[in-house]
Amino acid sequence: MDFSLPKKYKLCSLKKIEELFATGNLIKAFPIRILFLLEESALNEKESEAPFFQVLFSAPKRKFKHAHDRNYIKRVMKEILRHQKPELESFLSAHNKKLVFSITFVGTERPDYKFLEQKLGKAIQLLLLEINSNA
């Protein structure tokens, strides 16, 4: 099992980010907010190297004034997603889908790892249920 989360999994395309925020679906599992777009997976050779999902992490500056708090939250969310990557990829490959999504922490207090792991795990399960119902 590959638990790495290299740069190709990071959502960097401005066009995709704008499309995500304009037409994406929203899942709320306080204190996590997931905005996602589902695409059909292309089977040609060029697309085969592309990852099954791309993700964007954010924590609001309005609620966390210090950059080290925002960076901590994003780093922990990335680590938690890294551990759940094989489950997410196998689910997406089984449904022949590609996923573009953003994970935003909307709580007001800096969370610890265990709390965030529990809440993000629940949010990802809700995301998988939503994808399954749309498929």
Q: Which two tokens stand for residue 3?
A: 């638990």
CA-based angle 108:110:112, to the nearest 5? Answer: 135
Could you tell me which residues are beta bridge partners of residue 27?
34
Residue 119's nearest CA partner among 132, 134, 131, 107 is 107
Sheet holding 97-105, edge to edge: 25-29, 32-40, 97-105, 53-58
Orientation angle between helical segments 67-94 and 113-134, nearest 10 degrees: 30
Question: For residue 42, what is the DSSP state?
Answer: P
| 29-134 CATH | 3.30.230
pLDDT score of 44 more than 80: no
Is the bond into 6 cis (omega within 30 degrees of 0)? no
CA–CA dist 108, 39 (Å, integer): 33
* pLDDT class of 49 with cuts at 50, 70, 90: confident
* pLDDT class of 45 with cuts at 50, 70, 90: very low
pLDDT in tens, 81-127: 999 999 999 999 999 999 999 999 999 999 999 999 999 999 999 99
Please state whether the predicted TM-score (pTM) of the whole model is above 0.85.
yes
Residue 65 CA, distance from chain mean position: 23
CA–CA dist 8, 50 (Å, integer): 8
